[in-house]
Structure 1
Amino acid sequence: MGDDEKVKNEALQIIGQHQNLPTLVVFDLDYTLWPFYCECCDEDEMPYLYPQASAILYALKDKAISMAVASRSPTPDIAKSFLQTLGIHSLFVTQEIFSSWTHKTEHIQRIHATTGVPFSSMLFFDDEDRNIQTVIMLGIQNGCDKHFSW
């Protein structure tokens, strides 16, 4: 069994221990799913995820938990290209990738409008505390209790 399969099985086991699961998990991209700012990269560079990220995404998919992207990237074309290159773009029911000064509130509101999922049924992962603090005021659960690390 490879490392990805082990991580996926461990994630499935952890998810299985909880009865009240989120309907939708929202992920930031830069320094949350991958360890870089995509605006510092060329579109033709080969992107990569944090080591366990892919297995966790596929564990969520296996449990029929929807996923979305909320990114304030100033280079949405590069971010979308990286998701495509990594073969994970189709895992996300919606991708809100645009530059904004709203610390993700506009992204989350668009995700809510698109999916119809109540804020209280969402779980949010982001590496920036300012984004977390603003969206939890909407009623979203914070997936990053302390420091988020794959």
Structure 2
Amino acid sequence: MNGADCLPSLIAFDIDYTLWDLWIDTHVQAPFRRTGNTLNQVLDRYNQEIAFYPDVSKILHDISGKTTLALCSRTNAPDYARDVLRLLLVPPPPNDPDADGAPPEPKRAFDYFPQKEIYPGSKINHFKALHRKTGIPYSEMLFYDDESRNKDVESLGVTFVLVSSGLNSRSFWGGVEKWRKKNPVVTSSDGEV
């Protein structure tokens, strides 16, 4: 992978107002449900819709399998967040048949993120837990969040990106570029990384 294609070893996302436009612990009420195989929509008890922002699915398709994905949320309703993530279906990538030529299937949002730190408390504690579990250095971690108070993770060496109005492709790739500038790729004389 050359410098322009390089991704951090771990990319983490806050959930509320970063991946979807609500606070899971105050704006919705269980039980949650999905109608059939409806993509990117879960409804709460009062039919309040929960959905990822429009660019999130494409971002997940672009980086899934290329880096470790994580969720870091300080919500007071971790069970709600997990329930919704298990129900929320991410649309498959467009025009990307599987090995048998069949159209791809949607995937649960929950399954995109092998690492999940979803509980109240400091995001510093979330990242310390991620470091313990994965062994990935903090300098190899990139974090997107809508709250500037969580910038304190930079004290660990994590690259922090403040997201306003939800994660979109521009803010995502801008964050990757910020991480790349902090972590330039060293190449050998023959151009290999």
Task: Identify whether the pair has TM-score above 0.5, normalized to the shorter chain.
Answer: yes
Match of 1:111 in 2: 130
Larger CA Rg, structure 1 vs 2:
2
Unaligned runs of 5+ in 1: 1-15
Three-state SS of the structure 1 residue aligned to 2:50 is coil
Q: Give the alignment partner of residue 99 of structure 1, picking from 120, 124, 137.
A: 120
Letter in 1 for 2:112: L
Stretch deviating more after TM superposition (46-55 or 119-128): 46-55
What do you get for the CA RMSD once the two structures are aligned? 1.8
Match of 1:71 in 2: 73
**In structure 1, C-alpha distance between the alignment counterparts of 2:142 and 2:161, rounded to whole Å:** 6
Q: Is the 8 A contact 1:73 1:97 kept in 2?
A: yes
Match of 1:122 in 2: 141
**In structure 2, C-alpha distance between the alignment counterparts of 1:60 and 1:126, rounded to whole Å:** 18
- 1:88 corresponds to 2:109: yes
Q: Give the alignment partner of residue 28 of structure 1, picking from 14, 24, 37.
A: 14
The normalised TM-score by structure 1 is 0.80
Greater fraction helix: 1
**In structure 1, C-alpha distance between the alignment counterparts of 2:119 and 2:22, rounded to whole Å:** 17
Match of 1:9 in 2: none
Letter in 2 for 1:25: I
Percent identity, aligned pairs only? 34
State the 1:19 CA deviation: 4.0
Q: Is the 8 A contact 1:47 1:85 kept in 2?
A: no
The total of aligned residue pairs comes to: 130
Unaligned runs of 5+ in 2: 33-43, 89-107, 169-193
**In structure 2, C-alpha distance between the alignment counterparts of 1:18 and 1:124, rounded to whole Å:** 19
Match of 1:137 in 2: 155
**In structure 1, C-alpha distance between the alignment counterparts of 2:153 and 2:124, rounded to whole Å:** 6
Letter in 2 for 1:72: R
Three-state SS of the structure 2 residue aligned to 1:143 is strand
Structure 1 segments, 4+ long, off by >3 Å, are: 146-149
State the 1:20 CA deviation: 3.4
State the 1:143 CA deviation: 3.0
Q: Is the 8 A contact 2:56 2:167 kept in 1?
A: no
